[in-house]
Amino acid sequence: MPQAPTIVFDLDGTLVDTAPDLLASLNAVLREAGHRTVDPVELRSLVGFGVRRLFERAFERTGTALSDDNLNKYSDEFLAYYRANIANESQLFPGVHETLEALKADGALLGVCTNKPHDLTGLLLNALDLTRHFGSVIGAGVSPYNKPDPRHILDVVAALKGDAKRAVMVGDSSVDVNAAKAAKIPVIVLTYGYTIEPHAELGADALTDDFTEIPALVKKLLGS
Protein backbone atom coordinates (compact mmCIF):
# COMPACT_ATOMS: atom_id res chain seq x y z
CA MET A 1 0.00 0.00 0.00
CA PRO A 2 1.50 3.39 -1.00
CA GLN A 3 2.43 5.89 1.68
CA ALA A 4 -0.14 8.58 2.41
CA PRO A 5 0.31 11.71 0.30
CA THR A 6 1.97 14.83 1.66
CA ILE A 7 0.19 17.99 0.54
CA VAL A 8 1.89 21.36 0.98
CA PHE A 9 -0.27 24.47 0.68
CA ASP A 10 0.54 28.06 -0.02
CA LEU A 11 -1.45 30.47 2.17
CA ASP A 12 -2.37 33.83 0.63
CA GLY A 13 -4.49 33.38 -2.47
CA THR A 14 -4.69 29.62 -1.95
CA LEU A 15 -6.28 28.94 1.44
CA VAL A 16 -7.27 32.46 2.42
CA ASP A 17 -8.35 35.58 0.56
CA THR A 18 -6.06 37.96 2.44
CA ALA A 19 -6.11 40.69 -0.20
CA PRO A 20 -8.51 43.09 1.61
CA ASP A 21 -6.36 43.28 4.77
CA LEU A 22 -3.06 43.34 2.86
CA LEU A 23 -4.40 46.15 0.68
CA ALA A 24 -5.65 48.20 3.62
CA SER A 25 -2.31 47.85 5.42
CA LEU A 26 -0.23 48.66 2.35
CA ASN A 27 -2.33 51.68 1.46
CA ALA A 28 -2.17 53.04 5.01
CA VAL A 29 1.63 53.18 4.74
CA LEU A 30 1.64 54.50 1.17
CA ARG A 31 -0.65 57.37 2.20
CA GLU A 32 1.64 58.20 5.13
CA ALA A 33 4.59 58.30 2.73
CA GLY A 34 2.75 60.66 0.38
CA HIS A 35 2.27 58.09 -2.35
CA ARG A 36 -0.91 57.20 -4.13
CA THR A 37 -2.72 54.07 -3.03
CA VAL A 38 -2.94 50.88 -5.10
CA ASP A 39 -6.07 49.04 -6.13
CA PRO A 40 -6.94 45.32 -5.77
CA VAL A 41 -5.84 44.52 -9.32
CA GLU A 42 -2.42 46.12 -8.78
CA LEU A 43 -2.01 44.22 -5.52
CA ARG A 44 -1.99 40.93 -7.42
CA SER A 45 1.29 41.89 -9.10
CA LEU A 46 2.92 42.94 -5.82
CA VAL A 47 2.39 40.03 -3.43
CA GLY A 48 4.04 36.63 -3.18
CA PHE A 49 7.72 37.51 -2.72
CA GLY A 50 7.77 38.67 0.89
CA VAL A 51 7.30 42.02 2.62
CA ARG A 52 10.47 43.79 1.44
CA ARG A 53 9.76 42.96 -2.18
CA LEU A 54 6.14 44.03 -1.70
CA PHE A 55 7.32 47.49 -0.69
CA GLU A 56 10.02 47.75 -3.32
CA ARG A 57 7.43 47.03 -5.98
CA ALA A 58 4.72 49.20 -4.43
CA PHE A 59 6.93 52.28 -4.12
CA GLU A 60 8.36 51.82 -7.61
CA ARG A 61 4.81 51.55 -8.94
CA THR A 62 3.47 54.60 -7.09
CA GLY A 63 6.34 57.04 -7.21
CA THR A 64 9.85 57.03 -5.83
CA ALA A 65 12.05 54.03 -5.19
CA LEU A 66 13.06 53.48 -1.57
CA SER A 67 16.45 53.64 0.11
CA ASP A 68 17.32 50.68 2.31
CA ASP A 69 16.64 52.71 5.46
CA ASN A 70 13.22 53.83 4.30
CA LEU A 71 12.43 50.35 3.04
CA ASN A 72 13.07 48.98 6.52
CA LYS A 73 11.04 51.77 8.12
CA TYR A 74 7.98 51.36 5.94
CA SER A 75 8.17 47.56 5.99
CA ASP A 76 8.14 47.66 9.79
CA GLU A 77 5.18 50.07 9.81
CA PHE A 78 3.30 47.82 7.41
CA LEU A 79 3.97 44.76 9.53
CA ALA A 80 2.78 46.51 12.70
CA TYR A 81 -0.43 47.71 11.01
CA TYR A 82 -1.08 44.35 9.37
CA ARG A 83 -0.38 42.42 12.58
CA ALA A 84 -3.05 44.47 14.37
CA ASN A 85 -5.58 44.02 11.56
CA ILE A 86 -4.65 40.62 10.16
CA ALA A 87 -8.11 39.09 9.90
CA ASN A 88 -10.48 42.04 9.75
CA GLU A 89 -11.74 41.09 6.31
CA SER A 90 -9.68 38.05 5.29
CA GLN A 91 -11.78 34.97 4.62
CA LEU A 92 -11.26 31.34 3.71
CA PHE A 93 -11.92 30.46 0.13
CA PRO A 94 -14.99 28.22 -0.33
CA GLY A 95 -14.56 24.60 0.67
CA VAL A 96 -11.26 24.97 2.53
CA HIS A 97 -12.23 23.64 5.96
CA GLU A 98 -14.29 20.74 4.62
CA THR A 99 -11.61 19.70 2.12
CA LEU A 100 -8.77 19.83 4.63
CA GLU A 101 -10.82 17.74 7.07
CA ALA A 102 -11.56 15.19 4.35
CA LEU A 103 -7.87 14.97 3.36
CA LYS A 104 -6.79 14.43 6.95
CA ALA A 105 -9.48 11.79 7.47
CA ASP A 106 -8.09 10.01 4.41
CA GLY A 107 -4.61 9.96 5.98
CA ALA A 108 -2.93 12.81 4.08
CA LEU A 109 -0.12 14.76 5.75
CA LEU A 110 -0.85 18.49 5.45
CA GLY A 111 1.51 21.46 5.73
CA VAL A 112 1.82 25.14 4.84
CA CYS A 113 4.73 26.73 2.97
CA THR A 114 4.38 30.50 2.61
CA ASN A 115 6.50 33.59 2.04
CA LYS A 116 4.37 35.44 4.59
CA PRO A 117 6.43 36.13 7.74
CA HIS A 118 6.21 33.14 10.05
CA ASP A 119 4.71 34.95 13.03
CA LEU A 120 2.00 36.55 10.88
CA THR A 121 1.27 33.17 9.34
CA GLY A 122 0.59 31.73 12.78
CA LEU A 123 -1.61 34.66 13.75
CA LEU A 124 -3.70 34.33 10.61
CA LEU A 125 -4.07 30.56 10.83
CA ASN A 126 -5.14 30.84 14.46
CA ALA A 127 -7.60 33.65 13.75
CA LEU A 128 -9.32 31.59 11.06
CA ASP A 129 -9.19 28.26 12.93
CA LEU A 130 -6.87 26.69 10.38
CA THR A 131 -3.92 25.73 12.57
CA ARG A 132 -5.49 22.43 13.64
CA HIS A 133 -5.36 21.08 10.10
CA PHE A 134 -1.58 21.26 9.64
CA GLY A 135 1.27 19.19 11.01
CA SER A 136 3.91 21.67 9.84
CA VAL A 137 3.83 25.37 8.99
CA ILE A 138 6.92 27.20 7.72
CA GLY A 139 6.73 30.87 6.85
CA ALA A 140 9.36 33.40 5.91
CA GLY A 141 12.17 33.93 8.39
CA VAL A 142 12.45 30.38 9.68
CA SER A 143 15.22 29.64 7.17
CA PRO A 144 17.47 31.91 5.07
CA TYR A 145 15.56 30.88 1.95
CA ASN A 146 11.96 31.13 0.75
CA LYS A 147 10.00 29.98 -2.30
CA PRO A 148 10.88 29.68 -5.14
CA ASP A 149 13.81 27.93 -3.45
CA PRO A 150 12.71 24.27 -3.40
CA ARG A 151 14.19 23.74 0.06
CA HIS A 152 11.33 25.75 1.54
CA ILE A 153 8.81 23.15 0.34
CA LEU A 154 11.07 20.19 1.07
CA ASP A 155 11.57 21.39 4.66
CA VAL A 156 7.80 21.18 5.17
CA VAL A 157 7.70 17.68 3.68
CA ALA A 158 10.55 16.60 5.95
CA ALA A 159 8.91 18.11 9.05
CA LEU A 160 5.76 16.11 8.25
CA LYS A 161 7.91 12.97 7.87
CA GLY A 162 6.49 12.67 4.39
CA ASP A 163 7.98 11.32 1.19
CA ALA A 164 8.88 13.89 -1.48
CA LYS A 165 8.02 11.26 -4.09
CA ARG A 166 4.47 11.25 -2.71
CA ALA A 167 4.16 15.02 -2.26
CA VAL A 168 2.08 17.65 -4.05
CA MET A 169 2.25 21.44 -3.84
CA VAL A 170 -0.96 23.49 -3.97
CA GLY A 171 -0.57 27.18 -4.76
CA ASP A 172 -1.68 30.04 -6.93
CA SER A 173 1.36 31.70 -8.49
CA SER A 174 4.58 31.29 -10.44
CA VAL A 175 6.48 31.29 -7.13
CA ASP A 176 4.67 28.11 -6.09
CA VAL A 177 5.04 26.48 -9.50
CA ASN A 178 8.75 27.27 -9.78
CA ALA A 179 9.44 26.04 -6.25
CA ALA A 180 7.54 22.80 -6.84
CA LYS A 181 9.25 22.13 -10.15
CA ALA A 182 12.65 22.71 -8.58
CA ALA A 183 11.65 20.30 -5.80
CA LYS A 184 10.53 17.81 -8.46
CA ILE A 185 7.02 17.48 -7.10
CA PRO A 186 3.75 18.07 -8.98
CA VAL A 187 1.84 21.29 -8.41
CA ILE A 188 -1.84 22.21 -8.47
CA VAL A 189 -2.69 25.86 -9.14
CA LEU A 190 -5.91 27.47 -7.96
CA THR A 191 -7.01 29.90 -10.63
CA TYR A 192 -8.68 32.32 -8.24
CA GLY A 193 -5.32 33.21 -6.68
CA TYR A 194 -2.97 36.16 -6.78
CA THR A 195 -1.04 36.43 -10.01
CA ILE A 196 -1.08 38.74 -13.01
CA GLU A 197 0.14 35.95 -15.29
CA PRO A 198 -2.45 33.73 -16.98
CA HIS A 199 -2.75 30.67 -14.77
CA ALA A 200 -2.75 28.37 -17.78
CA GLU A 201 0.75 29.63 -18.68
CA LEU A 202 2.35 28.97 -15.29
CA GLY A 203 3.23 25.36 -16.07
CA ALA A 204 1.16 23.71 -13.34
CA ASP A 205 0.39 20.00 -13.51
CA ALA A 206 -3.27 20.71 -12.78
CA LEU A 207 -5.54 23.76 -12.62
CA THR A 208 -8.78 24.24 -10.73
CA ASP A 209 -11.02 27.06 -9.52
CA ASP A 210 -12.63 24.77 -6.94
CA PHE A 211 -10.75 23.89 -3.74
CA THR A 212 -12.93 20.81 -3.20
CA GLU A 213 -11.41 19.23 -6.32
CA ILE A 214 -7.98 18.94 -4.68
CA PRO A 215 -8.39 15.41 -3.24
CA ALA A 216 -9.29 14.00 -6.66
CA LEU A 217 -6.47 15.91 -8.36
CA VAL A 218 -3.92 14.70 -5.81
CA LYS A 219 -4.95 11.09 -6.43
CA LYS A 220 -4.71 11.62 -10.18
CA LEU A 221 -1.26 13.22 -9.99
CA LEU A 222 0.15 10.57 -7.64
CA GLY A 223 -1.50 7.69 -9.42
CA SER A 224 -3.56 6.52 -6.46
| CATH for 71 | 1.10.150.240
Whether residues 77 and 188 fall in one domain = no
Whether residues 179 and 207 fall in one domain = yes
Tell me if 118 is assigned to some domain.
yes
Whether residues 147 and 210 fall in one domain = yes
Tell me if 95 is assigned to some domain.
yes
Q: Of 6 and 1, which is predicted with more confidence?
A: 6
Distance, in Å, from the CA atom of 117 to the CA atom of 122, rounded to the nearest integer, reads: 9
What is the pLDDT, as a whole number, of residue 206? 98
Whether residues 215 and 112 fall in one domain = yes
Helix (H) or strand (E) holding 17: strand 16-17
Q: What is the pLDDT of residues 121-134, one digit of tens each?
A: 999 999 999 999 99
Whether residues 78 and 123 fall in one domain = no
Q: Give me the CATH number covering residue 198.
A: 3.40.50.1000
From residue 153, alpha-carbon distances to 109, 148, 224 in Å are 13, 9, 22
**Percent of the chain whose pLDDT exceeds 70:** 99
Catalytic sites, residue numbers? 10
Helix (H) or strand (E) holding 110: strand 109-117
What average pLDDT does range 193-222 have in this prediction? Answer: 94
Tell me if 55 is assigned to some domain.
yes
Contacts of 15 (CB under 8 A, 6+ apart): 9, 92, 93, 96, 112, 130
Q: Of 224 and 119, which is predicted with more confidence?
A: 119
Bridge partner residues of 12 (DSSP): 16
What is the pLDDT, as a whole number, of residue 1? 63
Task: Determine which of 64-78, 141-155, 164-178 has the lowest per-residue pLDDT on average.
Answer: 64-78
Whether residues 147 and 198 fall in one domain = yes
| Residue type present at position 69 | D
Q: What is the pLDDT of residues 50-105, one digit of tens each?
A: 777 787 888 888 877 777 778 888 888 888 999 999 999 999 999 999 999 999 99
Distance, in Å, from the CA atom of 111 to the CA atom of 154, rounded to the nearest integer, reads: 11
Tell me if 193 is assigned to some domain.
yes
Domain termination site, one of 63, 84, 105 = 84
Distance, in Å, from the CA atom of 86 to the CA atom of 78, rounded to the nearest integer, reads: 11
Tell me if 1 is assigned to some domain.
no
What average pLDDT does range 192-213 have in this prediction? Answer: 92
pLDDT of 209 over the 90 cut: yes
What is the pLDDT, as a whole number, of residue 114? 96
What average pLDDT does range 206-221 have in this prediction? Answer: 98
What is the pLDDT, as a whole number, of residue 70? 81
Domain termination site, one of 58, 84, 110 = 84
Whether residues 196 and 127 fall in one domain = yes
What is the pLDDT, as a whole number, of residue 194? 82
Whether residues 13 and 103 fall in one domain = yes
Whether residues 117 and 57 fall in one domain = no
Say whether 171 sits in a helix, a strand or coil.
strand
Tell me if 113 is assigned to some domain.
yes
Whether residues 80 and 163 fall in one domain = no
What average pLDDT does range 11-22 have in this prediction? Answer: 94
Distance, in Å, from the CA atom of 142 to the CA atom of 149, rounded to the nearest integer, reads: 13
What average pLDDT does range 34-49 have in this prediction? Answer: 83
Name the pairing type of β-strands 206-208 and 187-190.
parallel
Domain termination site, one of 50, 84, 118 = 84
pLDDT of 224 over the 80 cut: no
Query: What total number of domains does the chain contain?
Result: 2
Domain that holds residue 50: 19-84
- Residue 126's CB: how many other CB atoms inside 10 A? 13
Whether residues 63 and 125 fall in one domain = no
Nearest C-alpha neighbor of 48 from the set 166, 131, 146: 146
Whether residues 176 and 98 fall in one domain = yes
Average pLDDT over the chain reads 92
What is the pLDDT, as a whole number, of residue 34? 85
Tell me if 130 is assigned to some domain.
yes
